[in-house]
Amino acid sequence: MAVRYIQTCRLPTPFGVFDMHGFEEPDTGKEHVALTLGDLNSSEPMLARTHSECLTGDALYSMRCDCGYQLEEALRSIAREGRGILMYLRQEGRGIGLLNKIRAYHLQDQGADTVEANEKLGFAADLRDYSMCKDMLEHLGIASLRLMTNNPRKVDALMSYGINITERVPLHVGRNPHNEHYLDTKQSKLGHWLETHQDDDPQES
């Protein structure tokens, strides 16, 4: 078991009133949450986002990444749809942690790109784990997703755990002069889909 369910409460937000479900990893004590809106029992695929924690972007308004912009747009999209789930995963800095992310940012200030900075610190470019998502979705009774992401590795990782993704929904927001190089590096080195051409995306072909 990757995570165990703890409790559910209401969470009013500027985008709508969500249900927040808390989960914990028994082995590590790491905590994750899922925000849901609307009918969880429908057989229709649910609009979804898996969002890894980014304190700097989500809470401190950093313009070095697109994380905070994507978080807000995902919640807006779910609210517009009237039904959806956002799984907020506590794995800061693509899995390297907050203080190491600050070290990586320092290296980026010296000219390294986001991948090079991780590698200079002795980490892989992306250490995130999505195994907990399967348990969260099974607990909530959600069988299939329309996933909001630009990251092909995320799609592949979730599908490798048996999660049914029926559609990949682009999430292109937040480009600015401070994160252009970061976004271009994600496209060139990590294979992110930063264009909306459907023929580039196997989930939409």
* Residue 103 annotated as part of some ligand binding site: no
* Residue 185 annotated as part of some ligand binding site: no
* Residue 67 annotated as part of some ligand binding site: yes
Dihedral sign computed on CA atoms, order 172, 174, 176, 178: negative
CA atoms within 13 A on the CB side of 116: 12
* Residue 70 annotated as part of some ligand binding site: yes
* Residue 189 annotated as part of some ligand binding site: no
* Residue 22 annotated as part of some ligand binding site: no
* Residue 197 annotated as part of some ligand binding site: no
* Residue 44 annotated as part of some ligand binding site: no
* Residue 54 annotated as part of some ligand binding site: yes
SS3 readout for the chain: CCCEEEEEEEEEECCEEEEEEEEECCCCCCEEEEEEECCCCCCCCEEEEEEECCHHHHHCCCCCCCHHHHHHHHHHHHHHHCCEEEEEECCHHHHCCHHHHHHHHHHHHCCCCHHHHHHHCCCCCCCCCCHHHHHHHHHHCCCEEEEECCCHHHHHHHHHCCCEEEEEECCCCCCCCCCHHHHHHHHHHHCCCCCCCHHHCHHHC
* Residue 49 annotated as part of some ligand binding site: yes
CA gap 70, 149 in Å, rounded: 9
Q: Using the structure block, give the residue that is written with the tokens 């165990």.
A: 4
* Residue 167 annotated as part of some ligand binding site: no
* Residue 93 annotated as part of some ligand binding site: yes
Q: Which residues are catalytic?
A: 126, 128
Q: Which residues line the annotated binding site for GTP?
A: 49-53, 70, 92-94, 114, 149, 154
Q: Which residues line the annotated binding site for Zn(2+)?
A: 54, 65, 67
Q: Which residues line the annotated binding site?
A: 49-54, 65, 67, 70, 92-94, 114, 149, 154
